[in-house]
Amino acid sequence: KNEVEQSPQNLTAQEGEFITINCSYSVGISALHWLQQHPGGGIVSLFMLSSGKKKHGRLIATINIQEKHSSLHITASHPRDSAVYICAVYDMGAQKLVFGQGTRLTINP
Amino acid sequence: KAGVTQTPRYLIKTRGQQVTLSCSPISGHRSVSWYQQTPGQGLQFLFEYFSETQRNKGNFPGRFSGRQFSNSRSEMNVSTLELGDSALYLCASSFESNTEAFFGQGTRLTVV
């Protein structure tokens, strides 16, 4: 079993829909990251959080430390949001980032 | 403020050769980490350097090595290349190990 599990693996939606991507982890962490990767490879850091909730534009990230679970929400989704979204946790024991397998999001116009 | 720069962007090498990849971090960042991304394994941690010292190493063979210079620029080297080393190699810089990480565009290595 992977230390970081994301769901769903693939998600296709229509423009304007509300999107939720989930991340569960099994290790002790000090922080959780949500990353975005577009075709071509470059990765952009969207959020880094250790508790509560953060919001940036149409993106919202929440984390529940007790349940070891985080969600990334996209409101009013747009085709330009199409990308792979990756959850990563900083494993305090191993002292390294551990990554989920990613969620491939496609938003159709 | 310049981002993280990785060179080269693309590389084709033959089995048995060696390769060196470079990563220039954001100015002021002392931590540089390297990752390998493949379709089958996803993103995996290779190693982290901080102030010219290797702080941590992932589960990769000794053919994978790295170093960091006094200006925080880092290089990683893969010797005796195998077909399975074909991957996107990403580096990320941060002020400290567990602070926000900024990724480069990656180097896509193809071993033939």
pLDDT category of residue B96 using cuts at 50, 70 and 90: confident
CB-closest option in B42, B56, B98 to A99:
B42
- Are the C-beta atoms of A85 and A34 separated by less than 8 Å? yes
Contact, B107 vs B37, CB < 8 A?
no
Q: What are the tens digits of pLDDT across the range B32-83? A: 999 999 988 899 999 999 999 999 999 999 999 999 999 999 999 999 999 9
Chain-wide mean pLDDT for chain B? Answer: 95
Which of B31, B36, B103, B108 best probes binding to A when mutated, by most A CB atoms within 10 angstroms? B103
| A45 contacts B102? CB cut-off 8 A | yes
Q: Do B44 and A90 touch (CB under 8 A)?
A: no
H/E element holding B94?
strand B87-94
Lowest mean pLDDT among A17-21, A62-66, A70-74, B97-101: B97-101
